[in-house]
Amino acid sequence: MPPILRTAIGFITLILFVVLPLGIFVSRSHTKVNVLLYWIVLYPSWYLTNSLFHEGSHYLVNSLSGVQVIDVRLIPHFWRGDFADAFVNTGPESPFQAALGATAPYWSGVIWVAFGLLLLKSIRRMPLMLSTLVLTIFCLRPLADLVNNYFAVLAFHFGDFSMVAHAYGNPVMHILALSFLSLTLAGCIYGVYGASRPYTVPSS
């Protein structure tokens, strides 16, 4: 997939599955916020953690399952002008190892969503900025990542889920992807609407 197309798809999923849900979440607090400040804080948080969690899960699961990791880059070298390329290159692997490692960001994403919801439920009077960070990093980030990669295999036969399709066939790939998507989406909807009402600063 051309880098510019990958960037465009990533930007669209960012708007639809991170920015808009966060707008709904913040609006429920009935608190005036500095939109520019929130964007300055939240976008780098999403960008860095998305790559780190995604490639880190590939690396960790492949290493633990006995697959040789040949080369790894957990975050793009943005300081050199490369804002897209992060990767984990591996050696020979069995179909099960390939599927397990390829889907690691998505089944671990379900776990991260549950962790994020636990934080939102358990910490009372959480400041609005902190609650938006929790929702962004642990809930909406995995959702956008999953949607982005599932769309890539549907439209371009490219990406992590294509490895599952090659190993076990398209039906298994779709069942796994839609299962992860259902759980992640349900958790994010609950996070936006039900897990926690953000702390609001009382008006004087």
DSSP assignment letter at 25: H
Q: Which pLDDT band, with edges at 50, 70 and 90, does 88 fall under? A: very high
Q: Is 66 left (phi over 0), alpha (psi -120 to 50) or beta?
A: left
Rounded to two decimals, the pTM is 0.89
pLDDT at 1: 64
- CB-based contacts of 100, cutoff 8 Å, min separation 6: 61, 65
What does the pLDDT read at residue 68? 95
- Assess whether pLDDT exceeds 60 at residue 65: yes
Tens-digit pLDDT profile for residues 176-197: 999 999 999 999 999 999 866 5
pLDDT tens for 91-120 read 999 999 999 999 999 999 999 999 999 999
Question: What pLDDT, on the 0 to 100 scale, is given for residue 28?
Answer: 87
Round the average pLDDT of the chain to a whole number and report it. Answer: 89
What does the pLDDT look like over 159-180, one tens digit per residue? 899 999 999 999 999 999 999 9
